[in-house]
Every structure is written in structure tokens, then in C-alpha cells.
A and B are shown apart, each in its own frame.
Chain A
Amino acid sequence: MSTEGHGEKPIPRFLSQDQDDASPMPADTSNGEAVGEGLAQEIADKVITKQAHESELDAYRAMLLIRRFEEKAGQLYGMGHIGGFCHLYIGQEAIVTGMRQVMEDGDQIITAYRDHGHMLSSGMEPKYVMAELTGRSHGYAKGKGGSMHMFSVERDFYGGHGIVGTPAPLGTGIAFANHYRDNGRICVTFFGEGAANQGQVYESFNIASLWKLPVVYVIENNRYAMGTAVERGSANAHHLYNRGSAFGIPGEQADGMNIHAVRAAGKRAMQHTRSGAGPYIIEMLTYRYRGHSMSDPAKYRTREEVQDMREHHDPIDLLGKHLVETGEATEADLKSIDKEIRALVGEAADFALQDPEPDPDELYTDVLVS
């Protein structure tokens, strides 16, 4: 079972001994503050149910890791170290983190191209994710995939897909494999509210419901399909959770900025699907603070709208406040967590900048399985 690796020394499968020898890894502690390899994976592991049931502090850590990672990625993009398309998850962290907390070991995740948060919450190492963003040899795809295309079958993360809507049938297919093998696993399939208008999504809903496949569809409704507000692109725009009703798929809407709401809805969905009742849809109402991708100036919405979300609905601030109010953590604790995570992300960035580009010979490898 691929989940046996959880909690073990985090080494992506392709980093074989040979490759390590051939291309020595840059030092881990270039800034002098060794945080220790594996911390990020520990953070991720702790939000996966079996490791620690719904610990608020662990969720906080996991969300903050995504936030700081994405901020750093944005910074490196601005400096020209990351190329192409880069879609940041800032603002949406509670969704994948909360869902992770209600998933079991062995359940799978698949998503589209706003995927860094899903990777980190799956326990993929930030420095190898970041090295993929910078197109370097130790990136999760050896620098051949980039921001939108990373995978870790060991960590039950199935990508990372660049075409809008494709995660729906692909995730349904992974669920089909679960069903075929009767292994009790669920594939949690994420896509955006823009993708929710795609024909292939409904083709998937139909088959998933017809065959009672173990798939939970999570629509991350961040209000804008690139520049098109949901009201301009979707009929009955405020009821996307209802999009499966014609196929008999139950759905509900949840506040995706509030991890407690995410978990509550997630738990209902997972229970429903785990019982063998087939698919379930959760529409998570959320917001992305940044543009669609790094090159999007986001002129289609007001500064005030963004500011309001940041000030009043930020998922990390909300959970931080809750932790302090309940006495689970002090402000000082949160500051210390932030420091720890900043150091971790800093190391990841340093690694990603020092890691060599892929060997030219890699151009022709991995086209076919030999």
C-alpha cells in the first residue's frame, strides 16, 4: 500500500540512490538555520486524520505552510525564477487542509492547476515542489512538469492537471479503481466553479452516480473563473452544490474560509461516500486573494472586495483567533510557528534556486515507460 510511507523519511520515489550520486543535492541549511528535513511532511501528516484527529494547531500549521509557501512562490515568480503559469492558492488554504483532516490514510486527492496547497497538504516536500516551480532537476517532475504538473503516487496525490475540468473524470476514474479493487478508499476530486460548467463534469457525475463510485467532488468556488465572475458564467450561480441533483448526487454548500465548516461538510461527505452510497458534492465558498495566475492583474474586482475578504474572512486569521480564544495557543506560540514555517519555506526557496537545471539528456527520457 502506498500509504505505508506516511511519516517515514520523505524521499520522492524518483530520487533513487543513483540519481543522488549523479547529482548531489545542494546543502539543506544554506541560511544557517537548520529546520530539519521532514518537518513539512510532519505538518501534513498531522492533518491526516489517523495522525492526529482534527487538531486545530496542526491545521493552523498546515494552512500557514501553504500561505508562506505561496507567498514565496509569488516572490520568486516576480524575480523571474519561476516561469510560465503559476496559480497561487492564497486565501483558499482551509479547503484542502480541512478536507485532509477528514480523509483517511489511502484516500486520494486530484486537482487542477491551483495545486501547490494540495501537494503540501499531501505531505510532498516543499523544497522539491519549489524546485519543480523553478524548473530544476530535483523537482517532483525533474523540472519537466512545472507548477501545474506534479504527482506523488506514494502520497496519493494524482496531480496537478493543466486543463480545466479534467480532474473530474480522472478523479472519477481513480474512484472507479477503488471500487474495482473494493479497497474502501475515496478519491477527493477538486475543481473550480468555472470547471463546474464543463460537460465532462456532468459525464462524470452521471457515471459516478450510476456506478456508485467512491468520489467526493469539491468545487472550490473562488468566485472568478479567471476574470469571469461566477454570476456571469454560471446559471443558478449561487447553487453550484446542487449541480449533481439531476443525477441524484447530494450536495451542500460550505464556508470554505472557515476550516470548521469545511471539516463538518467534509465529514458528512466522506461518511456518505464511505458507506457505499456513491458520490457527494461540496461547494466551498472561498476567495483567492491573488489573480488567476501571476500575470493576472485582477482588474475585474475591486480592491475593497479583496481587502474585505482578507480582513474579515481570512481562514488563517480566523483559526489563529480561535486558538488564542480557546487557550490552545498564545500569540507567542503562533509567532513561533510562523517563524518556523518561514524558515522552512526559506530553505525550500534556497534549495530550489541552487538545485541545478535538469541534465540535457533528460529531454528525451520519460516519454515512454521503457
Chain B
Amino acid sequence: MSHQVLMPALSPTMEEGTLAKWLVAEGDAVKTGDVIAEIETDKATMEVEAVDDGKLGKILVPEGSEGVKVNTPIAVLLEDGEDESAIAAAEAKAPEPEPAPEPKPAEAKPQAEPAAQQAKPEAAATPRPKAEIAPDPDVPPGTDYVELTVREALRDAMAEEMRTDPDVFLIGEEVAQYHGAYKVSQGLLEEFGEKRVLDTPITEYGFAGIGVGAAFAGLKPIVEFMTWNFAMQAIDHIVNSAAKTHYMSGGTMHCPIVFRGPNGAASRVAAQHSQDYSAWYTHVPGLKVIAPFDAADAKGLLKAAIRDPNPVICLENEILYGHKSPVPQLDDWVLPIGRARILRPGNDVTLASYARGLTYALDAADTLAGEGIEAEVIDLRSLRPLDLETVLGSLAKTHRLVVVEESWPVCSVGSELCARAAQEGFDDLDAPPTLVAGADVPMPYAANLEKLALPSAEKVVAAAKAVAYRS
């Protein structure tokens, strides 16, 4: 029986891709394992193999098509003896775009193509109208913008700093020849050479310590962790060697180093690969911690981090890597570490968040606006130092605070912010400061459970209504 070839998901976070090339033509016979097409994701060009024997009946998506969603039928494969009449039948049963699975454990989920890969539906949030984002006061009026992904913005930040300072170098697993496991360092090896872009063995404790030693000796390393989950093996050097030495030396030896990489949950990679470390590093005096949300944050904050004479932790997010947003076209776009930004002004409730938490907060703000509640959304940008002033200033206006984060809720950045708001903004509060965080469990693998373990716009809306005493 004929069947459809679907656009495959080629990474845990892939939502769509470009069908770059068909390597077979209609009418060609294909065997299981034959490479039939090339697909470009935002990270790489991947080959698609046939999973059945047969004849390529019809190409449904021509080569060069961009933004082809995962699970879209891209071709029809005919079995031996079938003719073209079978094509129409196959087309007819093309599935509707798969709806986001509801968080109901009992629901059976249609599975297409190789069962292992499934795009994360909630990550495919519709692009937000830009008009809703308030202009960044750090950008001079009249500045032009360029649309970049967060991934590109991070790469540009490193490249610009490496161009101006020969002491800056990048070290980590797969950062050079592979261009980064998440393709953040694309082009850096080619531009700066193997002296300044160095692949390491998979030994985090060792190369983190080597980075710290090089920083003690005056270089400015950027140490990439493939993800922050693996930095647990190196945390001794981050905390004991990097963060404490300036103090322990009475200010005579410092450690100008950036540790960066993706943090928190990606998609369906389970507990050991889905932890948010924001609270861990924000806890430590001697470190600075940044958590960029959009491309402008990513570029401006990472450039500041590389120039900073202190150890800086840059908590990126894999889901956000592919998100595009405008970045000011300035010769030197650098953001101050320790200052938050009001992304969307409002008078009724303050939604303070960082990194991917802001995707929920901004969606919630849209919904709330439809119900007559104007939320003020704050992008914290930095977690240490934390811009309490901006949050308390907003609280003085809205009298209500909801903090949104993907982290575990116990002893988190969000719980800290709630505590500080209670202590220092008590008189301004008309409702208890409220935290919408990840569930207090190791991250589950199952799609529905993972969704339940993360915040959502709905949960933020509910929390905002609760503090606004609206039902």
C-alpha cells in the first residue's frame, strides 16, 4: 500500500526545516536506507533515508521549500505494482497538522516517521507582533535593526570580541570543527583558526580548570559547555577556583572568564539533560549570571560578559537558539550586566521573568490584555546582580508580582525575587508575590508529563488573575 513520506524531526528541538534537495526523482525506485533528500535544519544539513522499498510516486514538497513543518507529507511512496491512482488516495489521507497534545496522560498521540523524534509542539509559538514589545531604552533612537536568531547573535558577540581582543578564545567540546553541538560557533574556526577556537576532549572538569588557569594568567577564555547539565562535573572550578579567588587573594588575582552554554529543559531529553541551573550559580558571590531571552539580549549581554573582568555565567536556552528577533545595528551593542528591561509596559500586574520563561509571560500578557488586565513584562536579563530596583519600581505601579521561570521552585531565582519583594516592597503589595515555576520533580520524558512539568501561559494567566483578584 502506498504511503506518505513525512518531514522528519532531526533533533529534539526541530520544529521545521528547509527541504534543500531531492536526490531521487518521481518514478525512481528506492530501497530502504537510500538517501532520498537533504534537509537543512537551523543547525545542520541532514540526509533523509527511505524507510521502505518502493517507487517514488509523487513529490509533494519541491526542493528549496523553506519552513516545512515536521510531519508534513513531502512525498508519496508506491509499493510494487501500485500505479498513480494510489497517489491520490495517499494524498487524501494526509493528516491535519497535529494539534498540541493536551496534558492528559491517557491521550494517545499519533506518531509519524521514526518514532524517536517528535517536535515539541508548544515550542512552535506563533511569532508575536513586534509592536507589543516596548523599545529598548538602551538603543539610541533612529537605530536600524537586523533580524537575527539568538544563535547568530551569540556567535556575532563572540566574533566581534575576538576581533578586538586577541586574548579572547573559545574552548569546549565540538566548538571548532563541528561548529558547536548547537551550531553557536559557526564560522569561528574559519575566521580565528585553531589557536583560538579549540575542541576539547569530553572532560569538563579538566577543561574548565584549564580555562580558569588561563584566566588567572591573564587570558579571557570563553568556555562552552555543551549543556549546563555537564558543567556539574566542572562546578568545583567554577565556584571554588573562578568565583572565590579574587576575594581569597585580597583582590590581587582575578579571573576574567565566561562559562556559557544552553541551560534548562530542551525537549524530551529527560531529567539528566533538562535541569535549570539559574539558582545554583546565582547563589554564588563572585560570579555574575546572565540569562538572555532574545537576540538583542544575547549579543549585548555576551559581549559585556566577555569584557567583564569577573567570571560570568551565561545561561542560554536551546529552544530559544532558533528564535529570531531584531538586534540593533550598532558598531558595539553592549548591554550593562545587572539591568533589567521592561519588555511590555502595563499597570495592572508585573510579570518578571528571564530566558524562556518570558515566552510564557509574553503570551500570558496577550491573553490578559484581552481580558482587560494590562501586564508589565520584565526581562530580568541578569540574575546576578539582580535588578531589584526595576522590579520594585514596577511593583510600586502595579502592586502585584508574578515571577515566571522554568527552574525548580525551591530556593530559586523566582523565590528569591518573591522574598525580596515581600521584604522590600511590602507596602506596595496588594497580593502575595507569586511564583509560576517548573514542577518540583526531575524532568519526565513523556511529552504530556514534560509539558505539565513546565510553566505555561495558562498557568501565568491564572496566577495573574489570582493576584488581581479576578476570576
Which chain A residues have a beta carbon within 8 Å of chain B's beta carbons? 12-14, 108, 110, 139-145, 149-153, 158-163, 166, 168-178, 180, 187, 199-200, 202-204, 206-207, 210, 365-369
Contact = CB atoms under 8 A, between A and B. Distances in A.
A141 B248 contact: yes
B219 interface: yes
A145 B249 contact: yes
Nearest to A208: B210
Main DSSP-derived SS at the A contact region: mixed
A5 to B, nearest CB: 13
A176 B245 contact: no
A139 B250 contact: yes
A180 B253 CA distance: 20
Contact of A168 (B209, B216, B254): B209
Q: Which 8 A-B pairs have the closest CB atoms?
A: A173-B213, A203-B206, A169-B209, A177-B217, A142-B250, A141-B250, A366-B251, A203-B203
Interface residues of B, number: 40
B251 to A, nearest CB: 4
Interface string B13-36: 000000000000000000000000
The winner among B211, B213, B245, B251 for most chain A CB atoms within 10 A is B213
B167 to A, nearest CB: 8
B4 to A, nearest CB: 48
Given A141-B248, A366-B247, A367-B246, A176 B310 contact: no
A254 B247 CA distance: 37
A306 to B, nearest CB: 32
Contacts of A172: 206, 209-210, 213
B213 A207 contact: no
A210 B203 CA distance: 13
Given A13-B252, A151-B249, A207 B212 contact: no
A207 B252 contact: no
28 contacts: A108-B217, A139-B250, A140-B250, A144-B247, A149-B245, A149-B249, A151-B249, A162-B240, A163-B236, A169-B213, A170-B241, A173-B209, A173-B211, A173-B215, A173-B217, A174-B216, A176-B214, A177-B213, A187-B213, A203-B209, A204-B206, A206-B206, A207-B201, A207-B206, A210-B201, A367-B285, A368-B310, A369-B256
Given A14-B252, A159-B253, A200 B214 contact: no
A144 B247 CA distance: 7
Interface string B259-289: 0000000000000000000000000011010
Interface of B: 169, 195, 200-201, 203, 205-219, 236-237, 240-241, 245-254, 256, 285-286, 288, 309-310
A140 B211 CA distance: 24
Nearest to A180: B219
Given A153-B252, A153-B253, A367-B247, A203 B240 contact: no
Given A166-B241, A169-B237, A141 B252 contact: yes
A151 B245 contact: yes
Contacts of B310: 368-369
Contacts of A160: 248-249
A3 to B, nearest CB: 13
Contacts of A161: 241
A107 B121 CA distance: 57
A172 B236 CA distance: 16
Contact of A158 (B216, B236, B240, B247): B216
Contacts of B241: 161, 163, 166, 170
Contact of A368 (B212, B215, B217, B288): B288
A270 B207 CA distance: 24
A110 B206 CA distance: 16
Contacts of B195: 180
B237 A141 contact: no
A204 B249 contact: no
A143 B247 CA distance: 10
A369 B215 CA distance: 14
Contacts of A13: 252
Contact of B210 (A173, A199, A369): A173
Given A158-B253, A174-B213, A369-B251, 20 more contacts: A14-B250, A161-B241, A166-B209, A169-B206, A169-B208, A170-B209, A170-B237, A173-B211, A173-B217, A180-B169, A200-B205, A203-B201, A203-B207, A204-B209, A366-B247, A366-B249, A366-B250, A367-B286, A369-B254, A369-B256
B207 A207 contact: yes
Contacts of B256: 369
A158 B208 CA distance: 17
A140 B250 CA distance: 7
Nearest to B249: A151
B249 A141 contact: yes
A369 B209 CA distance: 20
A175 to B, nearest CB: 8
A200 B209 contact: yes
A150 B249 CA distance: 6
Nearest to A173: B213
Given A169-B237, A172-B209, A207-B201, A12 B252 contact: yes
Nearest to B198: A211
Nearest to B215: A173
A200 B206 contact: yes
Contacts of B248: 141, 144-145, 149, 151, 160
Contact of B286 (A143, A168, A368): A368
A199 B236 CA distance: 13
A204 B247 CA distance: 26
B247 A206 contact: no
B251 A171 contact: no
